[in-house]
């Protein structure tokens, strides 16, 4: 996915590099900033929205700008501008430093940063099909092919929506410590939804795809197959029944496991949220799950939708162990929280674009596989449910979670039975982790987007697993 070349110079951006270096020098020398960083961005971006076979929005353009963040008197100051003009950048530095000084007057504990390596590197993306070189007409044609395939699958399919986005560009990061990283960004993402109706029964289906390789993702997932897949799932659910409400054993597909790990545990393991009242800050090194539970947040999995070499603080991405055999072993950190916890930064500081500050975000979050076959997960289950894919999920800082299911089935005497619709699972994440009593040896990941004030491209997944019991939502 990426080629990396160590070296002290960046021939393509030498002028911009010198400009950002001057900005950092102004912050530290003229305004007494203890630390300064500048992050310049130039990306080409396309956004499409289709409803049925109509193009409702089509946008394509270039986004340019610089983010400046400074640490003065133990407080952060931040400014961003959509310009590379030196005079405008000097004003932005001044504004950021003034903001930091004002903030420091109300700060009880000065912010300190964990030390990190000084890095000079260039990371280059080499797609087979660069999305910025694909015409918007061709992208619309691809989306229309998905819509046509979905709506033409069955007359009971009543709607098909497609959201598409790609971006290709370059980030240049420099700081007052000497780090200088030029890093390409490349994402291609699409979400397809379909609804079906029959005899006053309505169903919904969704599918997401994402790639950090290039537009060739539509060679791997053809538009026709994508449209058929979401339509077929929506139609299948028309014949499904509502699940019984109550506590039952369940087998969860990797798609549901991923969103459970992300929503129910991953956010709790983001160190900034842990410090803001989350459960895990006081539970490090404590056993909070069964021996079968091991979680990672990994930014190094090449090809995954959450992978990158360096985060937006210039820290190398890493494979971060969050839980090992049920014991909480670590959190996701930026430089500030790593200092507070007396540990190493993990490379989780991410910013959506130059307009915002980097915050702690997940990358590729997953449960590690074990040794059970798919068939073995169903053995001994007299009655329960197999939930294959999710519809949506949410969680709170006290560990309460709910995950909606878009494709599910009964389990009867160890066999997959009739389909169910409009199901959900809910409970407390830490209690549920103790209910994991079997983990499969398969493994799959799914791309997605996560909102935390900003949008981040992420990936999650794992193996199939079995819970001895969980609360299933449905009819009484």
Say if residues 413 and 426 touch (Cβ distance below 8 Å): no
Residue 232 half-sphere exposure, CB side, CA atoms within 13 Å? Answer: 7
Burial of 62 (0-12, 13-18, 19+ CB in 10 A): exposed
Output the six-digit token pair for 383. 């009655």
Is the backbone of residue 380 left (phi > 0), alpha (psi -120 to 50) or beta? left
Res 9 pLDDT > 70: no
Nearest 5°: phi and psi at 228? -65, -40
| CB atoms inside a 10 Å sphere around CB 422 | 21
- Within the chain, how many helices (H) and strands (E) appear? 9, 23
Tell me: the pLDDT tens digits for 229-262?
A: 999 999 999 999 999 999 999 999 999 999 999 9
Task: State the Rg of the chain over Cα.
Answer: 24
E strand segments, 13-156: 35-51, 54-72, 75-81, 120-125
pLDDT of residue 124: 96
Percentage of the chain surpassing pLDDT 70?
97
Output the six-digit token pair for 50. 């289709």
Torsion of CA 355, 298, 335, 272, to 10 degrees: 80
- Split at pLDDT 50, 70, 90, the class of 301 is very high
Q: Which residues pair with 374 in a beta bridge?
A: none
For residue 12, give the nearest of 148, 97, 124, 157 by alpha carbon: 124
User: Where is pLDDT greater, at 278 or 46?
Assistant: 46
Mean pLDDT of 106-126: 96
| CB atoms inside a 10 Å sphere around CB 83 | 12
| CB atoms inside a 10 Å sphere around CB 158 | 16
Angle at which helix 14-29 crosses helix 86-104, to 10 degrees, equals 40
Burial of 105 (0-12, 13-18, 19+ CB in 10 A): exposed
Look up residue 11 and give its DSSP letter: G
Alpha carbon separation from 345 to 43, 123, 319 (Å, rounded): 27, 20, 11
Look up residue 343 and give its DSSP letter: S
Look up residue 263 and give its DSSP letter: I
Output the six-digit token pair for 53. 């076979």
pLDDT of residue 302: 87
Res 85 pLDDT > 80: yes
What length is written for the chain? Answer: 476
Tell me: the pLDDT tens digits for 348-399?
A: 999 999 999 999 999 999 999 999 999 999 999 999 999 999 998 999 888 8
Look up residue 174 and give its DSSP letter: E
Q: Calculate the average pLDDT of the chain.
A: 94
Positive or negative: CA dihedral 285, 287, 288, 291: positive
- Split at pLDDT 50, 70, 90, the class of 3 is very low
Q: Which residues pair with 121 in a beta bridge?
A: 6, 181
Angle at which helix 136-151 crosses helix 223-238, to 10 degrees, equals 30
To the question of pTM greater than 0.75 for the whole model, the response is yes
Q: Where are the alpha helices (DSSP H) in 369-459?
A: 429-433
Distance CA 399, CA 19 (A): 46
Burial of 146 (0-12, 13-18, 19+ CB in 10 A): buried
Tell me: the pLDDT tens digits for 16-58?
A: 999 999 999 999 999 999 999 999 999 999 999 999 999 999 9
Output the six-digit token pair for 459. 């990936």
Say if residues 187 and 457 touch (Cβ distance below 8 Å): yes
Q: Going by DSSP bridges, is the β-strand pair 157-175/180-198 parallel, antiparallel, or unpaired?
A: antiparallel
pLDDT of residue 8: 36
pLDDT of residue 12: 46
């Amino acid at each position: 996915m990426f080629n990396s070349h160590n070296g002290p110079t960046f021939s393509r951006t030498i002028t911009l590099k010198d400009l950002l270096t001057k900005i950092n020098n102004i912050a530290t020398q003229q305004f007494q900033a203890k630390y300064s960083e500048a992050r310049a961005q130039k990306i080409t971006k396309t956004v499409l929205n289709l409803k049925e076979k109509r193009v409702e929005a089509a946008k394509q353009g270039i986004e340019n700008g610089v983010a400046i963040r400074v640490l003065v008197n133990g407080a952060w100051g931040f400014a961003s501008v959509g310009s590379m003009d030196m005079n405008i950048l000097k004003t932005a530095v001044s504004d950021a430093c003034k903001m930091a000084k004002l903030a420091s007057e109300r700060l009880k504990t000065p912010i300190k940063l964990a030390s990190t390596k000084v890095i000079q590197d260039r990371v280059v993306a080499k797609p087979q099909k660069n999305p910025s070189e694909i015409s918007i007409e061709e992208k619309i044609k691809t989306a229309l092919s998905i819509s046509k395939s979905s709506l033409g699958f069955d007359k009971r399919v009543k709607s098909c929506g497609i959201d598409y986005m790609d971006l290709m560009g370059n980030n240049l990061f420099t700081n007052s410590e000497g780090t200088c990283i030029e890093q390409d960004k490349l994402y291609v993402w699409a979400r397809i939804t379909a609804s079906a109706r029959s005899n006053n029964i309505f169903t919904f289906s969704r599918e997401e795809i994402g790639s950090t390789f290039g537009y060739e993702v539509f060679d791997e997932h053809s538009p026709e197959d994508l449209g058929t897949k979401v339509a077929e799932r929506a139609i299948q659910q028309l014949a499904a029944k509502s699940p019984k409400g109550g506590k039952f054993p369940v087998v969860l597909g990797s798609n549901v496991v991923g969103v459970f790990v992300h929503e129910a545990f991953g956010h709790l393991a983001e160190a900034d949220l842990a410090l803001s009242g989350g459960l895990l800050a006081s539970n490090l090194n404590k056993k909070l799950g069964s021996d079968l539970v091991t979680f990672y947040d990994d930014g190094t999995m090449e090809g995954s939708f959450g992978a990158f070499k360096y985060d937006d603080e210039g820290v190398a991405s890493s494979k971060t162990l969050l839980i090992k055999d049920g014991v909480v072993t670590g959190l996701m950190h930026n430089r500030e929280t790593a200092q507070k916890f007396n540990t190493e930064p993990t490379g989780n500081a991410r910013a959506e674009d130059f307009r915002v500050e980097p915050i702690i975000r997940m990358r590729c979050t997953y449960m590690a596989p074990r040794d059970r076959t798919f068939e073995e997960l169903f053995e001994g289950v007299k009655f329960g449910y197999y939930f294959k894919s999710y519809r949506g999920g949410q969680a709170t800082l006290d560990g309460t979670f709910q995950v909606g299911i878009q494709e599910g089935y009964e389990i009867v005497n160890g066999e997959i039975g009739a389909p169910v619709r409009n199901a959900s699972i809910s409970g407390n994440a830490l209690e549920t982790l103790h209910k994991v009593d079997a983990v499969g040896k398969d493994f799959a990941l799914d791309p997605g987007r996560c909102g935390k004030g900003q949008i981040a491209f992420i990936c999650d997944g794992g193996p199939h697993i079995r819970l001895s019991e969980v609360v299933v939502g449905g009819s009484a």
